[in-house]
Amino acid sequence: MRVIIVGGVAGGATTATRLRRLDESLEIILIEKSNYISYANCGLPYYIGNVIKDKENLLIQTPENLKKIFNIDVRVNQEVIYINRKSKSVIIKELKNGNKYEEKYDKLVLSPGAIPINPFINLPQEKIKTLHNIDDAIEIKEYIERNNVKNIAIIGGGYIGIEVAENLINYKNITINIIEKSSHVIASIDNDMAKFVHKILKEHGINTILNNEVKDIINQNNKLNIILDSKEISVDFVICCIGVKSEDKLAKQSGIITYSKGGIMVNEQMKTNDEDIYALGDAVKIKNFITEDYVNISLAGPANKQARIVANNICNINTKYSGSLGSSILKIFDYNLGITGINEKYCQDCNIDYKTIIISPFSHATYYPNANMLTIKALYEKVTGKILGAQIFGKDGVDKITDILATAIKMKMTAYDLEELDLCYAPPFSSAKSPVNLLGNSIVNEIEELVSTITWDEVTILDKFNSIVVLDVRSTDEYINGKYINAINIPLDELRNRLYELDKSKIYLVYCKTGHRSYIACRILLQNGYIVKNIIGGYMLYSI
């Protein structure tokens, strides 16, 4: 049986090697239009920033190795330009000389990836680049060094935009402007958690221009003048990180079903509407594990899993893809941001009855040196406590907690399950009550009505009513150094003795630095007949 695979990198190359491990008798042909069959595209920003100094370190496999070890016929600098489903053949073009030839297949695998979005193709392309492959990274790095670039605009504040900004400012100490048309960077997190990212970027000298869309770019006097909604900036170079769109043109031309907004339609076996054609990776839409709607998730992890499933099914091992959570992690200077599951906007769009919680535990026991505070936001179903999503920000332990919560979501765990997780503990690594256990405790407290919570956005709306009092239970010194504008202050250790100062006809919205002391205050007040709500995130979140 002959299998032709269109496209390499995570999807295609992994499919090819899995196929060979399953069946020595297969004839496997892999067609890749670039010069690189398998490379670490997630490492490209780190090559630009000279953290990875040699581009050869980005190469995972070469055509020669795939031939020697796996007996795979790899053809680079060639492109499949036509699929004839009736004759089960493809037309392949050799890009160096333009020659075309035909190959038959028994099974065809489409892994063409995605195309970077660049709406500025009418401008000099040496000055406006997207970052999609090794050649892009080489060209960006060489242009910056050769032209002594001092000022760069990065259009798009997603993962790649943030990584490129960090690497360039560390490497060259040039002026970086991140332009983002929405209210915050990194679309997969919520506004409140994005505040931490904005703060870190600002501290490292990166300008974030939010709520501004690029209207035009004018190439003038060796500068690029960027016209925004509210201002104009002038830079030497632009890196366009707006995003990508599925490369589904070949599929469409052959009658394979695609979605109206892009992406090849596949079933749980990663099979298209053609029995002998599979598709995977950035080119397809896949099921969101939580909501079960179909979305584009351009991540290497899902692509690798899909590759294994494609190979299994070609070799008659019935395997299904259950969907993706889109779990990811991003390094931002000395901090890390972990994301899994869905965010508030997604919940609202899907009419999910959800609630949020924010806690700020330490990465490990505080009596052991170098414990760092984490901020963990979780979204959960109001009634059941089932975990829907999480966003974690901090220096240490972010990857561990994100992975635990991703596993919890995948296994459809509730907050009650998080409370009971038996996680390892030693002072250098965690606390006797793991941050994940504490998260479960906090959600269960709310479900069991031991406390009622409120967000800062809700506080600012309610504060205009005479029945509302915002109560700060931090120390007097903390209060003097910064407070919510209308808050009164009664330190937690004085609260029991000063209850007489409070009015039971009022509603008290209580905060401390992070939400822990204010929870204790809420329990005291509630059991003494007061109406109270705990403000999640505390003053730390408000003050950013």
Residue 115: closest CA among 128, 129, 130, 95:
130
pLDDT, residue 125, reads: 82
CA distances 133 to 337, 372, 383, 511, Å, are 24, 36, 46, 48
Residues in the chain: 544
Tell me the pTM: 0.94
Distance in angstroms between the alpha carbons of the first and the last residue of the chain = 60
CB 326 within 8 A of CB 188: yes
Separation between Cα atoms, residue 5 and residue 3, nearest integer Å = 6
For residue 335, what is the DSSP state?
E
pLDDT, residue 535, reads: 98
Q: How many C-beta atoms surround the C-beta of residue 15 within 10 A? A: 31
Which residues, at least 6 apart from 461, have a Cβ–Cβ distance to it below 8 Å?
none
The one-letter code for the residue type at 19 is: L
pLDDT, residue 39, reads: 83
Measured torsion, CA atoms of residues 499, 501, 506, 507, in degrees rounded to the nearest 10: -50
Helices and strands of the chain, counted as H and E runs: 16, 32
Residue 540: closest CA among 522, 507, 516:
516
pLDDT, residue 200, reads: 97
Residue 74: closest CA among 108, 23, 105, 28:
28
Separation between Cα atoms, residue 262 and residue 271, nearest integer Å = 17
Q: Name the token pair of 206.
A: 């990166």
Separation between Cα atoms, residue 399 and residue 327, nearest integer Å = 10
Separation between Cα atoms, residue 463 and residue 310, nearest integer Å = 56
Separation between Cα atoms, residue 405 and residue 411, nearest integer Å = 10
Q: What does the pLDDT profile of the chain (544 residues) look like in tens digits?
A: 999 999 988 899 999 999 999 999 999 999 999 988 888 888 999 999 999 999 889 988 889 999 999 999 999 999 999 999 999 999 999 999 999 999 999 999 999 999 999 998 888 788 999 999 999 999 999 999 999 899 999 999 999 999 999 999 998 889 999 999 999 999 999 999 999 999 999 999 999 999 999 999 999 888 999 999 999 999 999 999 999 999 999 999 999 999 999 999 999 999 999 999 999 999 999 999 999 999 998 888 999 999 999 999 999 999 999 999 999 999 999 999 999 999 999 999 999 999 999 999 999 999 999 999 999 999 999 999 999 999 999 999 999 999 999 999 999 999 999 999 999 999 999 999 999 999 999 999 999 999 999 999 999 999 999 999 999 999 999 999 999 999 999 999 999 999 999 999 999 999 999 999 999 999 999 999 999 999 999 999 999 9
The residues pairing with 109 across neighbouring beta strands, listed in sequence order, are: 5, 278
CB 308 within 8 A of CB 319: yes
Q: Which residue's structure tokens are 């205009």?
A: 464
Residue 235: closest CA among 256, 215, 221, 252:
221
Which residues, at least 6 apart from 114, have a Cβ–Cβ distance to it below 8 Å?
244, 245, 246, 247, 282, 283, 296, 298
User: Domains in the chain, start-ordered, CATH in brackets?
Assistant: 2-43+54-113+245-314 (3.50.50.60), 128-242 (3.50.50.60), 328-447 (3.50.50.60), 453-543 (3.40.250.10)
Q: How many C-beta atoms surround the C-beta of residue 397 within 10 A? A: 23
Q: Which residue's structure tokens are 């965010």?
A: 343
For the residues of 114-171, what is the DSSP string, one character each? EEE--S-TTS-TTTEEE--SHHHHHHHHHHHHHTT--EEEEE--SHHHHHHHHHHHHH
